[in-house]
């Protein structure tokens, strides 16, 4: 949480993090889907949900879609 906390305190509203090392090709597809949804002015949590749903169609094993976590938003404004 050290780097994440520092980025949030520096002004980042949201961070998309991974919990473990990720596969390059599946992550590239995930990011395309996530940012396509986010650019449509969609809530980041909904963009994450949509990207995970799309990725699960092609990669059903959790290794490929489960490591992604969205941090920020309300959590960034709470006192620690």
> 52-71: per-residue pLDDT in tens?
999 999 999 999 999 999 98
Per-residue pLDDT at 78:
43
Torsion-angle region of 72 (φ positive above 0: left; ψ -120 to 50: alpha; else: beta): left
- Residue 66 contacts residue 6 (beta carbons within 8 Å): no
Per-residue pLDDT at 1:
59
Per-residue pLDDT at 43:
85
Domain range list for the chain: 2-77
Which of 43, 51, 44 has its CA nearest to residue 67?
Answer: 51
Per-residue pLDDT at 35:
92
Which mean pLDDT values do the consecutive 10-residue runs of the chain (80 residues) have? 82 88 93 91 87 94 92 55
């Amino acid at each position: 949480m050290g780097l994440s906390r520092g980025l949030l305190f520096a002004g980042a509203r949201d961070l998309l993090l991974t919990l473990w090392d990720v596969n390059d090709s599946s992550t590239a597809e995930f990011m395309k889907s996530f940012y396509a949804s986010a650019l449509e002015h969609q809530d980041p949590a909904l963009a994450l949900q949509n990207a995970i749903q799309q990725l699960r169609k092609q990669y059903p094993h959790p290794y490929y879609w489960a490591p992604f976590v969205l941090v920020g938003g309300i959590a960034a404004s709470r006192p620690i």
